[in-house]
Chain A
Amino acid sequence: MQPLAPVFVARGLTKVYGAGDSRVVALKDVDLDIRQGEFIVLLGPSGSGKSTLLNILGGLDAPTSGTATWRDHELTGASDEQLTTYRREHVGFVFQFYNLIPSLTVEENVRLVAQIASNPMTPAEALELVGLSHRAGHFPSQLSGGEQQRVAVARAIVKRPDILLCDEPTGALDVDTGRLVLAAIAKVNAELNTTTAVITHNSAIAGMAHRVLRLSGGRIVKEEPNPRRIRAEDVTW
């Protein structure tokens, strides 16, 4: 399946933190198009600006200058309410530290998002997709790190998001559990045609992408299409 029209369009994105001596330029004049259903991997060392870029795309942060749009949603200059609605209706997040709610069970963590989405799948379906149906009644603290991250994936996809944003999803995991999580993400991308962006500093994961963006010093320094994608099971590091 070949990606189609761009759904994400960013032009001249710049993000500056602090002022004066403590001024840090996290993103410098970044232009980016992401197409429907595309699987993108953003690679780069710490401080290269990849998380900042992802946060802006996900409506968690606002650029200092430049524009970012998702379909007809203008993300720059949007109010907090508009960004909340955007996240709620269109974006699924997976983070390095899972960010599950400790006092909710696995099923409830997933249902939490399902209850606020307009066209969700059932929590059971989402857990089935990540292979965790048997853990539905457990609390996060009773799960391994890989399992917790798969719950996070299930929580991200239960709303049938248009875009799935993953920030170092395997950063806290070992290879085997990491592969399970990556497989779940790839499955969602393939089966639901969810536009997917994965941040990593692990270049092995790049093999799974349609396209790899390399960031350094707040700029996209290289853009590589990947005609020969590998399966999550074949990723090694």
Chain B
Amino acid sequence: MVNVLDIKVARDLWSMRLQVLSIALLVAAGVAVFVMSVSNYQALIGAMEAHYRNERFADIFVGMTRAPLSIVDRLREIDGIGIVEPRVAEPVRVIREDTNLPISGRVISLPAAGQPLLNRLHLVQGRWPDPLHPEEVIINAAYAEARAVRSGETMEVVLNGRLQGFRVVGTALSPEFIFATRAAVPLPDDRNFVVVWASEDAVASAFDMKGAFNDALMTLAPGAGPQHVLEEVDRLLAPYGGTGAYGRSDQPSHRFLKDELAEQETLSIVMPSVFLGIAAFLLNVVIGRMVEAQRGQIASLKALGFANRTIAFHYFKLVTAIALLGSAIGLVVGRWFAIGVVGSYGAFFRFPSLEAQLEPWLLVAATLVSVGAANLAAASAVYRIAVLAPAEAMRPETPPALHTFSWLQAIGSQRIPLQYVIAARTILGRPVRTLLTTVGIALAIPLILFGLYWFDAIDYMIDVSFGRIERGDAFVTFTEPVSADALYELRAIPGVLEAEVQRVVPITLRAGHRAYRTSATGLDSASELKVLRDSALRPIAVPSDGIMLSRTIARQLDLNVGDSVTIEVLEGSRAVREVTVRRISDDILGASVTMERTALNRLMREGSVANVAALRIDPGQSDRLWSRIRSMPKIEASSIKALWFALFNETIGGMVVIGALVLLGFGMLIAIGVVYNSARIALQERAWELASLRIVGLTRREVSAVIVSELAVELIVAIPAGLLIGQYLIELIASARASESFQIPAVIDRSSYAIAALLVIGAAIASFITIRRRIDRLDLVAVLKTRD
């Protein structure tokens, strides 16, 4: 026979179905965000690891001017080295009919066997080149998609100054070009950067590398540490112009990926965990009050002889059913969103396979958190009631404060309508419950702010990066350093309004045993197209000698202002110099090393030269301007801000916007759930009192004023508190999650505060309306028949 209490569970669930649903949705929102985000993050990590493993991503990378293939055997002899893969890798340019923009890229040699040993290719489409046809190449899938290049198409590539035609026979993904980037461009630009894998013969003959190589990939032997290997490789390759071996952490694509993942971790792990924690707390508040509203029933069960344990178990079933319903909805919805959102990552994270993961522990953790929080609340509420004698518990709760605090009596005044006195005494007479409800509403606000914050952060970063720091419209990169006089040539091009040059040099910074591979930018002190700024966005001057480091680099190398640091230049003269750290700057745009350009020129022992130019251009003349620039022999690459924006919106922007919208949506759902439940439970607890007021002749409006004014006071306190808590949490998360390439600033626009507050007020008004309907329908007769 079915236990009667179990029938009560089922009937209670049914009779409170709207409230049950709103609590379940609160749980569901927390669980869904958590499950979606964590499983997406795991999907990215899983896809990266699988790609690295399957395509045998190298551990050590090194470039050099030219080394004979005989050196390869000596590399293999180095203790701790596993596989060595020599190859030829060179910068190239691609000419297309449909664009005036110079497209840059890299050509990489493929061994005669086709698939290399390391950094293997994952063929997306087409086939491997036929060894008998050196004109057949594979290109990176990202470029092929961005430019709609199909197999069989020919491609005009400038190799070592000579135009050569290749035929594309396949497209591929490579673990070293998950993000295909080049110097001076902060974001992968798939439309204007291409990787061409061509036969060894074709590449070697174009670059005069027969029997030689200029790039090598290596793996570490199992158990070997990188430090010794890096030193040995550098020693061995020094005579051949080795530019310094480096590990995965300095490999550009991997470094960018790692920073992106760190950012995703904030969006996917930190925020959703805080989110789930807040949802659990709110669940606790709501369930606690829901159980307390059943005070009379609990007392009756006790009076009938039910043991506290039995009663607690009864409520355990009730709230567990609600929490499980919520978790189940959350898991299904979270999984569903995960699949959708992971789909949006594909345009940005180029992995062979990227699928939303759903690990069992995730299900268990999310369910445990919600069931646990619900039961903790129910247990403490049941306990509070169960310790009372049944007779006392059956009386309506009269707050002890009403007896003890005479100031509560003093609240009454002849001039204040008594419905407000009732509200004020309820708020002040039950301070703990008022506090919990207020904190509950307040904590819903950060959940909304979390979503809005990402939009603000992106706007701010774009404004700061491109409005305040990088103020030019475009960059051009030269194939080799040119005289600073090239400026005059650039300025003479019709459509160029302003031009400034920079010297960008790949370097390794060394301090003691620590090293950091990056590039140093030499800026003219009067530079206006690039303006350095501190975190308060005040312009700062380039030090006239010595270097300026950003904080993350300074911290990694343990450097302070006045310390000396070794710069190893990784091109040309390979100069090794000591310089003084003159200033440590905020990493608004990510890690950077800056010097005065002529100081950098002196350090390089070169004349006044530059290899990058920033331009301000007249958009009306851009076509003619670019066709002119493309025809200049020494231009390697260009980057246009407007295109970069479009790219940003398509990739990072799109990805973050989807994540932020999901966060915002669920945050709103929770805010509505909390406000609605607070109002609904307040009504449930007070139905008897409110009906009594109606009977003695107060109008619906006057009676509603009691509940509405109570909630209004809680909202007035909760909203500013919630905005402050939100700001604090975001600052905490942002400062904890600053990565090397990007620092996500804790900026929240005023409009976001206003939107968050308005959304909560909107939720409150909607709740008031439903509550008002219930007050209108209060069954006055039924109230008379029961004590409470």
Contacts and interface: CB of A to CB of B under 8 A. Distances in A.
A141 B398 CA distance: 7
Interface string A65-92: 0000000000000001100100111010
Given A101-B422, A137-B409, A142-B403, A84 B697 contact: yes
Contacts of A103: 402, 421-422, 425-426, 429
Contacts of A91: 697
A158 B448 CA distance: 50
B350 interface: no
Interface in A102-159: 102-105, 108, 111-113, 115-117, 137, 139-142, 155-156, 159
Chain B CB within 10 Å, residue with most, of A89, A96, A105:
A105
B355 interface: no
A199 to B, nearest CB: 11
Contacts of A159: 697
Interface stretch (B154-162, B184-192, B490-498, B687-695): B687-695
B412 A105 contact: yes
Contacts of A104: 412, 418, 421-422, 425
B398 A99 contact: no
Contacts of B429: 103
Contact of A139 (B398, B695, B698): B398
Interface in B207-249: none
Nearest to B422: A103
Contact of A99 (B402, B412, B692, B700): B692
Interface in A41-56: 51, 55
Contact of A108 (B396, B412, B697, B702): B412
A57 to B, nearest CB: 13
A111 B418 contact: yes
B784 interface: yes
B695 A60 contact: yes
A108 B418 CA distance: 7
A39 interface: no
- How many residues of B sit at the interface, in one of the four size bands? 20 to 34
B421 A108 contact: yes
A93 B696 contact: yes
A82 to B, nearest CB: 12
Most chain B Cβ neighbours within 10 Å, of A89, A91, A99, A116: A99
B692 A116 contact: no
Interface in B662-713: 688-689, 692-700, 702
Contact of B418 (A81, A115, A117): A115
Nearest to A87: B697
A167 interface: yes
A203 to B, nearest CB: 22
Contacts of B694: 84
Nearest to A140: B398
Contacts of B692: 99-101
Given A102-B398, A104-B421, A137-B409, A112 B696 contact: yes
Nearest to A107: B412
B787 interface: yes
- Please indicate which of the listed interface residues A100, A115, A159 has the most CB atoms of chain B within 10 Å of its own CB: A115
Interface in B367-405: 395-396, 398, 402-403
B619 interface: no
B402 A60 contact: no
A8 interface: no
B149 to A, nearest CB: 74
A83 to B, nearest CB: 10
Contacts of A155: 696
A113 B696 contact: yes
A91 B694 CA distance: 12
Given A60-B695, A103-B429, A139 B402 contact: yes
Given A97-B784, A102-B689, A113 B421 contact: no
Given A139-B403, A155-B696, A167-B784, A116 B702 contact: yes
Contacts of A137: 409
B432 interface: no
Contact of B787 (A55, A87, A97, A141): A97
Given A97-B787, A116-B702, A102 B396 contact: yes
B310 to A, nearest CB: 29
Given A102-B396, A108-B418, A116-B698, A95 B784 contact: yes
26 contacts: A51-B784, A60-B780, A80-B700, A81-B699, A84-B694, A84-B698, A87-B696, A88-B697, A88-B698, A88-B699, A97-B787, A99-B783, A101-B422, A101-B692, A103-B402, A108-B412, A113-B696, A116-B697, A116-B702, A137-B409, A139-B409, A140-B398, A141-B395, A141-B398, A142-B403, A156-B696
Given A104-B412, A139-B409, 4 more contacts: A84-B694, A100-B692, A102-B398, A112-B696
Interface of A: 51, 55, 60-61, 80-81, 84, 87-89, 91, 93, 95-97, 99-105, 108, 111-113, 115-117, 137, 139-142, 155-156, 159, 167
